[in-house]
């Protein structure tokens, strides 16, 4: 096998016009005449002999036998870019039209098979055209080159021409790059350089961004707009090409979406990468909890163990071992080592606590009324108060007879203690409220809870707020209430510790107390009326939790481009409603190019935000059509990038001899390989008839002239 004719030479052969015996007879006759003429000294003898020899040579049919070469079967690759960026400006349809024309051209070339490979991209690693070529199944030793139809934005361009573009004889095989566009484009890009996943509530997080103007030179000014939840958007002026620090105040716990968008660049290819969303989760910094136990009791250890087991909680715990009016003769030196810091806790530092828990607390004069009023003001100002009430609530000295009465959600009359075995049950509201809904062992439908019994509860005569659990004779057992800016929870029994001991099977004591504490501290996921939104795999899921029994109205969904549409909700359980909506492609763009931004969902006074995760952030980094990336490897193969703005400009495809140019005006080429056809030769006459006759006549004429001079 060779790549040309230079390595094969013709051979000499004969195809006599007469049988060999006839040629031999003529030769003998010529020899005899020559001898006779020599004896007679005939003039012009040698010239006549030469004429006879020329005729004998012609009659012998001498010819050159040339080897025959035929085109070798060859395979070439046509890689068509179908990555998400190709859906901009009609690039994909243009690429398909170019590919169709090239396939038609290849079908007219004998021995050439054009294998078409589609590079989808959009899988988190960007466009990978060279990986697509590596996956192609081609016969060994028949590769003739490749044609890439793309916008030029490839993310696996090698530093040097791949080895497959080196032929066995050391020559370079062409890599033709056909770019869908009129020329180099520009694009403005917003990049999130650094964003904290978590930030402390009440502090300011810093988001570092950079705006780049791709395809341009120099630095420019741009306007960056920041959107933080329901707050009005704010705009700052930034310089392109340099990192910018954006302060973001963290105002509440839970997930927070910060939308960033930069003003467009004149003439840029797309504004899709001019925006992005930062997700920051607001967390509390070391929750400070004050636990005051009125008298030593069985539930005290439960509270302490629960709160101490949480590493994010700073617990301050005091137990009143003996009220001031009790005198049993015990020396003062033996009563306590640390005096109760009443003023420090209930006046100087009360605002520093996130939650105050009063467990079996009784007004025995140890806390002056002005400090109890401070607790009431603390709640009204936004604090959280949790009380567990035992018999002390129905006796003289009850907290109901103090300034705390203004924030208590229930009133227990004197002697309002119920001694009986009972099982706590969820109310209709409790089955819907996130504090108690779905508790382990909670009733499902008409099934009663599988919780252990309690033996004592308080009987209230009035209550306000929300009753989530009931006790004996359906009396309120767990009551929650909002008091101005703060919240209060009251458990009308001191028997919850029985669950932790496994009495009658126990109960979800730890989970219930955890939920109560977080509701009191206004954790968003425990709000009884809440709206949540989430986007995953291109689907927006809206979850609505309602404490009311009525069906909530349809939610209003606003997409990042400002389109508004209603979304009907479907009941999924007690107080739980959901709705789903496709969150991509509504602008005719595929999921990989859908304009990422913040979706807003509103239902009455409730608002939720959601943003999709970029399916292929690499693909969105640069949306230009450009020759910058593929140009070097194309030129290294002997070709060069070619811009095509309309399908009719598709270059013709042809085969060229090895070593010749592989591109020209209006065409691109693939090298032709030739192989010698076995047992097939092409003859060429060494002495044509006309030349033989002319030479013989000339020699006879010379001989005749010599004889005439004698």
- Taking the C-alpha atoms of residue 422 and residue 473, their distance in angstroms, rounded to an integer, is 9
Q: Does 58 reside within a domain?
A: yes
> How much is the average pLDDT of 69-85?
87
Rounded to the nearest 10°, the torsion over CA 371, 375, 377, 380 is -170
Tens-place pLDDT, residues 324-366? 555 555 565 555 556 667 888 888 899 999 999 998 887 767 7
Q: What angle do CA 620, 621, 622 make, to 5 degrees?
A: 95
Per-residue tokens: 498: 């029985």
pLDDT band at 29 (very low <50, low <70, confident <90, very high): confident
> Which of 283, 310, 333 is a domain's end point?
283
Q: Does 395 reside within a domain?
A: yes
Q: Does 632 reside within a domain?
A: yes
> What pLDDT shows up at residue 333?
58
Q: Does 339 reside within a domain?
A: yes
Tens-place pLDDT, residues 232-244? 899 999 999 999 9
% of the chain beyond a pLDDT of 70: 88
Q: Name the one residue in this structure whose structure tokens are 């993310």.
A: 155
Provide the terminal-to-terminal Cα distance of the chain, rounded to the nearest Å.
63
> What pLDDT shows up at residue 326?
56
> What pLDDT shows up at residue 533?
92
506 with 538, same domain: the answer is no
42 with 128, same domain: the answer is no
467 with 350, same domain: the answer is yes
- Taking the C-alpha atoms of residue 363 and residue 323, their distance in angstroms, rounded to an integer, is 9
| 16-25, 90-99, 126-135, 235-244: segment of lowest average pLDDT | 16-25
77 with 52, same domain: the answer is no
3-class SS at 24? Answer: helix
CATH code of 335's domain:
3.40.50.880
Q: Return the bridge partners of 189, or none.
A: 212
pLDDT band at 587 (very low <50, low <70, confident <90, very high): very low
Taken in order 232, 235, 241, 244, the sign of the CA dihedral is negative
Tens-place pLDDT, residues 292-331? 887 666 666 777 777 777 777 888 887 765 555 555 555 6
DSSP string, 509-527: HHHHHHHHHHHHTT-GGG-
> What pLDDT shows up at residue 32?
77
305 with 213, same domain: the answer is no
458 with 540, same domain: the answer is no
Tens-place pLDDT, residues 387-399? 999 888 888 878 8
> What pLDDT shows up at residue 709?
62
392 with 249, same domain: the answer is no
Domain of residue 598 covers 528-610
Q: H helices within 450-601, ranges in order?
A: 497-500, 509-520
Cβ contacts of 195 within 8 Å, gap of 6 or more: 205, 207, 208, 278, 279, 280
438 pLDDT higher than 50: yes
pLDDT: which is higher, 23 or 413: 413
433 with 479, same domain: the answer is yes
Q: What angle do CA 292, 297, 299 make, to 5 degrees?
A: 80
58 with 86, same domain: the answer is no
3-class SS at 371? Answer: helix
559 with 491, same domain: the answer is no
Q: Does 121 reside within a domain?
A: yes
pTM greater than the 0.85 cutoff: no
> How much is the average pLDDT of 21-25?
77
> What pLDDT shows up at residue 17?
74
> What pLDDT shows up at residue 6?
43
Tens-place pLDDT, residues 6-18? 456 677 767 777 7
333 with 477, same domain: the answer is yes
Cβ contacts of 122 within 8 Å, gap of 6 or more: 83, 84, 590, 591, 592, 615, 616, 619
pLDDT: which is higher, 208 or 575: 208
Per-residue tokens: 288: 């400070």
> How much is the average pLDDT of 503-526?
88
Q: How far is CA 684 from CA 14, 71, 186, 189, 688, in A?
A: 11, 22, 62, 69, 9
> How much is the average pLDDT of 604-627?
86
- Inter-residue contact 78 to 115 (CB < 8 Å): yes
CATH code of 122's domain:
3.40.50
Q: Return the bridge partners of 239, or none.
A: 221
Tens-place pLDDT, residues 173-184? 999 999 999 999
CATH code of 591's domain:
2.60.40
Classify burial at 646, counting beta carbons within 10 Å of its beta carbon; exposed 0-12, middle 13-18, buried 19 or more.
Answer: exposed
Tens-place pLDDT, residues 457-475? 999 999 999 999 999 999 9
Q: How far is CA 270 from CA 131, 186, 382, 593, in A?
A: 27, 9, 47, 10
Q: Does 5 reside within a domain?
A: no
> Which of 558, 579, 610 is a domain's end point?
610
> How much is the average pLDDT of 568-579?
88
385 with 505, same domain: the answer is yes
> What pLDDT shows up at residue 536?
86
Q: How far is CA 61 from CA 14, 350, 402, 632, in A?
A: 5, 124, 136, 57
Q: Does 3 reside within a domain?
A: no
Per-residue tokens: 643: 């811009």
CATH code of 215's domain:
2.60.40.10
Q: Does 620 reside within a domain?
A: no
Tens-place pLDDT, residues 251-278? 888 889 999 999 999 999 988 889 899 9
- Inter-residue contact 605 to 552 (CB < 8 Å): no
User: What domain count does the chain have?
Assistant: 5
> Which of 587, 610, 633 is a domain's end point?
610
């Amino acid at each position: 096998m060779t790549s040309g004719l230079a390595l094969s030479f013709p051979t000499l052969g004969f195809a006599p016009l007469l049988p060999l015996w006839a040629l031999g007879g003529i030769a003998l006759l010529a020899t005899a005449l020559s001898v006779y003429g020599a004896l007679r000294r005939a003039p012009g003898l040698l010239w006549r002999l030469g004429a006879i020899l020329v005729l004998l040579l012609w009659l012998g049919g001498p010819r050159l036998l040339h080897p025959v070469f035929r085109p070798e079967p060859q395979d070439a690759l046509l890689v068509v870019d179908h990555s998400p960026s190709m859906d901009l400006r009609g690039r994909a349809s243009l690429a398909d039209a170019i590919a169709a024309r090239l396939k038609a051209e290849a079908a007219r070339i004998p021995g050439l098979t054009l294998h078409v490979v589609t590079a989808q991209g959009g899988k988190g690693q960007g466009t990978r055209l060279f990986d697509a070529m590596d996956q192609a199944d081609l016969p060994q030793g028949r590769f003739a080159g490749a044609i890439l139809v793309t916008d030029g934005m490839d993310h696996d361009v090698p530093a040097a021409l791949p080895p497959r573009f080196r032929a066995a004889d050391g020559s370079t095989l062409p890599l033709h790059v056909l770019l869908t566009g009129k020329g180099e484009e520009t694009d403005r890009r917003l990049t999130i350089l650094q964003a904290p996943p978590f930030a402390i509530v009440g502090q300011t997080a810093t988001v570092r961004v950079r705006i780049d103007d791709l395809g341009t030179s120099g630095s420019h000014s741009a306007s960056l707009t920041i959107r933080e939840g329901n707050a009005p958007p704010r705009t700052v002026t930034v310089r392109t090409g340099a990192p910018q620090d954006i302060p973001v105040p963290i105002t509440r716990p839970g997930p927070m979406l910060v939308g960033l968008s930069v003003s467009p660049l004149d003439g840029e290819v797309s504004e899709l990468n001019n925006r992005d969303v930062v997700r920051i989760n607001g967390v509390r910094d070391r929750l400070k909890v004050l636990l005051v136990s009125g008298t030593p009791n069985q539930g005290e250890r439960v509270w302490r163990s629960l709160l101490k087991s949480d590493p994010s909680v700073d617990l301050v715990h005091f137990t009143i071992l003996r009220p001031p009016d009790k005198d049993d003769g015990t020396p003062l030196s033996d009563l306590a080592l640390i005096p109760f810091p009443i003023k420090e806790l209930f006046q100087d530092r009360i605002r520093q606590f996130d939650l105050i828990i009063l467990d079996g607390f009784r007004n025995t004069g140890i806390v002056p009324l002005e400090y109890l009023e401070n607790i009431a003001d603390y709640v009204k100002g936004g604090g959280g108060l949790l009380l567990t009430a035992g018999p002390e609530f129905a006796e003289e000295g009850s907290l109901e007879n103090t300034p705390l009465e203004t924030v208590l959600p229930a009133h227990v009359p004197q002697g309002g203690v119920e001694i009986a075995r009972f099982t706590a049950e969820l109310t209709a509201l409790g089955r819907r409220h996130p504090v108690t809904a779905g508790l382990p062992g909670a009733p499902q439908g008409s099934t009663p809870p599988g919780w252990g019994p309690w033996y004592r509860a308080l009987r209230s005569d009035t209550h306000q707020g929300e009753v989530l659990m009931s006790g004996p004779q359906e009396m309120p057992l767990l009551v929650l209430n909002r008091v101005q800016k703060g919240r209060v929870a009251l458990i009308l029994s001191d028997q919850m510790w029985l669950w932790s001991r496994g009495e009658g099977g126990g109960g979800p004591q730890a989970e219930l107390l955890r939920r109560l504490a977080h509701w009191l501290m206004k954790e968003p996921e425990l709000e009884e009326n809440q709206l949540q939104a989430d986007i995953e795999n291109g689907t927006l899921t809206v979850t609505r939790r309602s404490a009311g029994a009525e069906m909530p109205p349809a939610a209003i969904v606003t997409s990042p481009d400002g389109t508004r549409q209603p979304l009907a909700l479907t009941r999924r359980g007690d107080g739980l409603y959901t709705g789903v909506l496709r969150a991509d492609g509504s602008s005719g763009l595929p999921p990989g190019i859908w304009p990422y931004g913040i979706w807003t969902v509103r239902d009455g006074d409730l608002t939720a935000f959601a943003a999709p995760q970029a399916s292929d952030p690499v693909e969105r980094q640069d949306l230009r059509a450009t020759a910058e990336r593929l140009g070097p490897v194309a030129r290294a193969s002997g070709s060069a990038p070619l811009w095509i703005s309309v399908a009719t400009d598709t270059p013709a495809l042809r085969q060229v001899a090895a070593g010749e140019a592989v591109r020209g005006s209006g065409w691109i080429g693939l090298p032709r390989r030739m192989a010698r056809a076995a047992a097939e030769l092409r003859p060429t006459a060494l002495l044509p008839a006309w030349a033989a006759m002319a030479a013989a006549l000339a020699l006879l004429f010379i001989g005749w002239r010599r004889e005439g001079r004698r």
